[in-house]
Amino acid sequence: MRPKFSINGNKIRPIRIRENSFLARIAALQLQSQQCAIVWKNTIHLHGCSRIDFLQHPAWLKHEYCHVQQWRREGTFRFLFQYIVYSFRYGYQQNPYEIEARNAEKNPFALSWSIFN
């Protein structure tokens, strides 16, 4: 059984990083990329990149962490549904979730503020 943590009554959900993920491999093939990260709920799935390499790229980490926050904010069904609709409507680059994640890459506080939310 996993321990449960909380700060001021707010449950802290750990974020996992899974290397050599099949899910990330499929995404890498779709994106025609050698390296790929994709988020499923509280897990960042990696392909073509080790956990250590991933953690040494703050912008990439912030981008994927933003997706974790989006899952948490929207909930599973809403996030998946909207992400797919936005991708068809606007394309990957103009998907509002991707724009938000790219903006998080430049935010120096993108990783620090979340502990208080």
CA 56 vs CA 20, 51, 78, 82, 115: distances in Å: 17, 9, 31, 30, 21
**pLDDT of res. 116:** 40
Amino acid identity, residue 2? R
Residue 107 inside a domain? The answer is: yes
CA 47 vs CA 40, 51, 84, 99, 106: distances in Å: 14, 10, 21, 22, 23
Domain holding 98, by residue range, is: 13-111
Q: What is the pLDDT of residues 41-92, one digit of tens each?
A: 999 999 999 999 999 999 999 999 999 999 999 999 999 999 999 999 999 9
Residue 35 inside a domain? The answer is: yes
Give 116 or 59, the one with higher predicted confidence: 59
Q: Report the domain count for the chain.
A: 1
Residue 4 inside a domain? The answer is: no
Overall average pLDDT of the 98-113 stretch: 87
Confidence check: pLDDT of 93 > 70:
yes
Residue 97 inside a domain? The answer is: yes
Residue 54 inside a domain? The answer is: yes
